[in-house]
Amino acid sequence: MSAAISALQGVEAATAAPAAASGGPSFSQWISREMGAVDTQLQKSDRLAQDLALGKVDNLHHVMIEMEKSRLSLQLMLQVRNHVLDAYQELVRMQL
């Protein structure tokens, strides 16, 4: 999981841009915030899974829902990364 986050941080550094004219956050700020949210979700589901294994949580449905949320968040983050990399590679090809 942390490898995916590290890879996205590399993409973030490569795509850093100034804030939009409207004063909103730049793409790198937005992606950093979203990566933090995904990381928080992953940590939460890991903690719940550990608590379930230790018998501290008895609601299996809640744990499974949180784990599925984490899985979907990570998949979405990876798809965004893939599309950013594809767009970057397309720009590199256009410059030749």
Both structure tokens of 25 = 């956050």
**How far, in Å, CA of 36 to CA of 29, rounded?**
11
**Euclidean distance between CA atoms 66 and 77, whole angstroms:** 16
Across the range 46-75, mean pLDDT stands at 94
Q: What is the pLDDT of residue 9?
A: 58
* Residue of 36 and 96 predicted with greater confidence: 36
- The whole model's pTM is what? 0.68
**The pLDDT of residue 33 is above 60:** yes
Q: Retrieve residue 14's tokens.
A: 């490569």
CB atoms within 10 A of CB 42: 22
